[in-house]
Amino acid sequence: MAREMTFAFFLGCIMPNRYPQIEKATKFVMEKLGYELLDMERAACCPAPGVFRSFNKVDWMVHAARNICIAEKMDADILTVCNGCFGTLQEVNKHLKQDESAKKIVNEKLTLLGDYEFQGTIEVRHIAEVLGFDIGPWGIEDAIVRKVNAKAAVHYGCHFLKPTRIREIESSESPTIIEDFIEALGVQSVRFKEQLTCCGAGGGVKAFDGTSSMTIFGEKMKNIDEVKPDFILDICPFCHLQFETGQDYLNKNKGCSYDYPVIHLSQLLAYCMGMDVDFIGLQYQMMGKNYNFKLTDMREKEEEAI
C-alpha cells in the first residue's frame, strides 16, 4: 500500500478508555476509504498541551517527540482524532523541524529513553483535516449508503485550528471545513452564538476548577439550546466528554433539562457509510434513551426523503 494511504493511528488517552466506539468508527471509515491504520505500539500520552507544557516545555516536547519517533520508524504519518493530541504532536513536530537547537536538546534527552531520535520525516494529521481536505465531500459520495436529514451544532474545539499560524489548516475565525463535509451526509450545520469558543474542558480547567469549567460550558449550552439542533457534533473525545457529562451536571445542579445527543465526526460518517448503530456505539451514549428516539426519527426522515 502506498505510504500516503497508510497512517500510524495515535489513540491518545480518552478515546480508548472512554470512547472505544469512536476508535472503532474511525477504523471502519478509513478502511472503507482505502486507508490502512497501523497500531502504534508503546505510544504514550501526547501529552496534553494545556497542562504539561505549562510546567516544563522541554519535557513536554521530549514526551511528544518519543511518540513521533515511533511513527517515524513505521514510516507513516500520524493520524489522530483528538484536538489535544493533534495540538501537541503537530506543534512539536513542526517546531523541531524548524529549530535545530531545540531538536538537539530533545534528541539528547530521548537517548535516555531508549532507541529514539527525532528525524522530522513525517507529518501529523487530524481525522477532520484528512476527511475535509484530502478526501473531501466529493470523495465519499460512492461510499455513502444513507444520509442523516438533521441539524447539527458543530463544535470545532480549540486546538484543531488554533493557533492558525501553526496549524495552517483554515482560518480559526470563520472555518467551514466541517460544515462543508457534513453537508454531503445530509446534515445542516446551525450556527449559534460564540460557536468557536472553548467548551470549558481544555487547558486543565476541567480538572483544576470544575466550577469555572461548568460556567464556560453552561454559556456554551445556552447558546446551543437557542438554535435547537438535533445533535451536537464534535471532532475531539475530550470535548465529547465535556458535552456528555456536562449536560448531566447542568441538569442536576443548575435546573437545566438538556438532552442533546453528542456525536463524533467519525461516528456520524461511519453510520452514513453503513456501519450498524450497535457497532458505532451510539446506543451507549450517556443520553442513550433520548438518543435512540432521535436516531429513529432521523431514519424516518431518511425514508420519507427516499
Q: Which domain holds residue 33?
A: 3-127
**Do residues 48 and 123 share a domain?**
yes
**Do residues 40 and 148 share a domain?**
no
Q: Does residue 122 belong to any structural domain of this protein?
A: yes
> Could you tell me the pLDDT band of residue 306, with boundaries at 50, 70 and 90?
very low
**Do residues 122 and 155 share a domain?**
no
**Do residues 56 and 171 share a domain?**
no
Q: Does residue 41 belong to any structural domain of this protein?
A: yes
- Cβ atoms of 83 and 264 within 8 Å: the answer is no
* CATH number of the domain enclosing 81: 1.20.1050.140
21: CB partners within 8 A, 6+ apart? 267, 279, 280, 281, 282, 284
Q: Does residue 25 belong to any structural domain of this protein?
A: yes
| Region 278-295 average pLDDT | 52
pLDDT tens, position by position, 191-245: 999 999 999 987 677 767 778 999 999 999 999 999 999 999 999 999 999 999 9
pLDDT tens, position by position, 4-43: 799 999 999 999 999 999 999 999 999 999 999 999 999 9
**Do residues 278 and 166 share a domain?**
yes
Reply yes or no on whether the pLDDT at 258 is more than 80: yes
Q: Could you tell me the sign of the dihedral formed by the alpha carbons of 13, 19, 22, 27, in that order?
A: positive
**Do residues 14 and 97 share a domain?**
yes
Q: Does residue 206 belong to any structural domain of this protein?
A: yes
Task: State the cell numbers at 7.
Answer: 497512517
pTM: predicted TM-score of the whole model, two decimal places: 0.91
Q: Does residue 166 belong to any structural domain of this protein?
A: yes
**Do residues 123 and 155 share a domain?**
no
**Do residues 102 and 68 share a domain?**
yes
Q: Does residue 132 belong to any structural domain of this protein?
A: no
Q: How many helices (H) and strands (E) does the chain have?
A: 15, 8
